[in-house]
Amino acid sequence: MTTPVLDVQGLAFAYPDGHQALFGVDLHVHRGERVAMLGPNGAGKTTLVLHLNGILTGGRGSVSVSGLPVTPANVPEIRRRVGIVFQDPDDQLFMGTVRADVAFGPANLGLRGAELDARVQHALEQVGMAEYADRPPHHLSFGQRRRVAVATVLAMEPEILVLDEPSSNLDPASRRELADILRSLDVTVLMVTHDLPYALELCPRSVVLSGGTIVADGSTYDVLTDDALMSAHRLELPFGFDPRSLPRSS
Amino acid sequence: MGGPHGHSLHFHAHSPLHRAPAHLKILALLGFVLVVVATPREWYWAYAGYLAVIVGVVAVSRVPVGYLLKRMVVEVPFVAFAVLIPFVAHGPRVEVLGLSLSESGLLSAWGLLAKGTLGVLASLTLAATTEAQDLLRGLERLRMPDLLVQIMGFMVRYLEVVTGELQRMRVARASRGFDARNPRHWPVLARSAGALFIRSYERGERVHLAMLSRGYTGRLPRS
């Protein structure tokens, strides 16, 4: 068995105000997998995500990324390995131009000059936004900003891409374009989402986080068709959507 | 939105003034304003000279005069103040159009108006010919402390986000029957301002998290 890209063991965490968000989470993600993390609001998804790159620490349990434990000494390397795309692109894009924003991460890693330019160019090409490099981010459409946000993280060449609600607020065409981009990337993906059809479309495997623990881990099709599991954890398919009616490709 | 280019004060063109390095323009503006402020009010001919300089610079910049004049409304409160001075100031009075005005007040009003107008016109010319990003880089080259430049950069970046949020809150308020002219509704404005402050503060925290996630260590990389 190879070392998992993401290895979370017994992770528990309580906020300083005493609210406990995670009660012993175990999660393994292997290279090349695309995994959806499903769960109701308040299940602890964001808390878990913030542990993956060491923004939050101090609870029980451990997180390792490709064998490297998340500890204060390792944080710079961990943040290169784990690329988080946050839900609101306006939080993620803070520089004056798209190019400067995509360069922010790799420049923090110490890249300069032609190497940095090449990295930025490649990341923007991967999301189809190269021609917008010199525009200020706030003049782009929401879908374009989401794609640039993905590029800002791709430019760091992460080992795992963590996406928080990647399809939220996107129109159907932008949603599909983003799906095409995500499928084209050769990178491990952990996708936090309420968009269950999107999870089924992109992720062969799903885990369900509810009440601060992982309550299900299996193929996305099996999770979405387990009616008892779904209703127990406030998961609902959109009206008219039935995974059983789709042709099964895998 | 101000189109693909820059901020709302910027006028897109390709004049020599647009191409001039931002740090030189900032220094020129600073020097000009200091000289204007230090000039005694009674040297009327000097002010004529300053105005000629500004008009010449504007002509070179190819920014339409009307464009600048419209944006000079920021000066209106100061103009109102200047107009009041001759009525309230003490000292010997003179008759102007049947009104008894203070002589020293007239001189103060003239000084305020002349210096203010020249300063605003010069600043607007800089703003019209320089992109916000270039201004920041200019300040950086002038050795402005890094942290201040970063803070100004974030202000430029998030101004539109915050005004957009303010606008949406205004629409949401109005949609639920809020009437800004009714004094009984005014406490709501204070609460909205508070909510906007909290939201902006929380956004600041989220932005900081996003920066840390991409390896921020306290200095913005130079690009």
ipTM of this complex: 0.76
Q: Is A134 on the interface with B (CB under 8 A)?
A: no
CB A192 within 8 A of CB A37: yes
| CB-nearest partner of A135 from B4, B210, B215 | B4
Distance (Å, whole) CA A187 – CA A174: 21
- What is the interface size between A and B, counted as CB pairs within 8 Å? 83
DSSP run (H or E) holding A162: strand A160-164
Tell me the C-alpha to C-alpha distance, in Å, between residue A53 and each of A72, A162, A215, A250.
Answer: 10, 10, 23, 32
Spans of all domains in chain B:
16-138, 145-213
**CA separation (Å) from B56 to A224, B29, B46, B49?**
71, 14, 15, 10
φ and ψ at residue B140, rounded to 5 degrees: -60, -45
- Please check the confidence at residue B2 and state whether its pLDDT lies above 70: no
- A6-236 folds as Rossmann fold (3.40.50)
Q: Give residue A249's pLDDT band: very low, low, confident or very high (50, 70, 90).
A: low
- Specify whether the CB–CB gap between B108 and B93 falls below 8 A: no
pTM: 0.77
Q: Does A50 reach chain B within 8 Å, measured CB to CB?
A: yes
Tokens of A33: 């997998």
* List of residues 6+ apart from B147 with CB closer than 8 A: none
Size of chain B in residues: 223
Closest by CA to A127, choosing from A185, A62, A45, is A185
In the sheet where A213-219 sits, what is the strand order? Answer: A82-85, A160-164, A188-192, A34-38, A205-210, A213-219
Find the mean pLDDT for residues A159-168.
94
Interface subset of B 160-189, CB within 8 angstroms of A: 160-161
Query: Which structure tokens are listed for B26?
Result: 């900032």
- Report the helix count and the strand count for chain A, using DSSP H and E: 10, 10
Please determine, for residue A211, whether its predicted confidence score (pLDDT) is greater than 80: yes
User: Mean pLDDT lowest for which of A111-125, A230-244, B155-169?
Assistant: B155-169
Confidence of residue A192 (pLDDT cuts 50, 70, 90): very high
- Chain centre to alpha carbon of residue B197: 22
Give me the mean pLDDT over the B40-63 stretch. Answer: 90
Q: Which of A29-38, A66-75, B34-43 has the highest mean pLDDT?
A: A29-38
Give the closest residue to A127 by CA, choosing from A79, A178, A168. A178
Is B215 in Cβ contact with A109 (below 8 Å)?
yes
At residue B1, the pLDDT reads 37
CB-CB neighbors (< 8 A) of A139 in chain B: 1, 3-4
Strand A82-85 with B93-96, pairing: unpaired
pLDDT higher than 70, residue A1: no
The model's confidence at residue B6, banded by pLDDT at 50, 70 and 90, is low
Q: Provide the pLDDT for residue A97.
A: 86
Quick one: pLDDT at residue B219?
75
Mean confidence (pLDDT) of chain A: 92
Confidence check: pLDDT of B216 > 50: yes
What pLDDT score does B7 carry?
62
Does the beta carbon of B221 lie under 8 angstroms from any beta carbon of chain A? yes
Chain B contact for A79, CB < 8 A? Answer: yes
pLDDT digits (tens, 9 = 90+) for A12-63: 999 988 899 999 999 999 999 999 999 998 889 989 999 998 888 878 999 9
Alpha carbon B192 to its chain centroid, in Å, reads 25
Look at residue B5 in the predicted model and tell me its pLDDT. Answer: 46
State the average pLDDT over residues B66-86. 87
- For residue A100, the chain B residue with the least C-alpha distance is B223
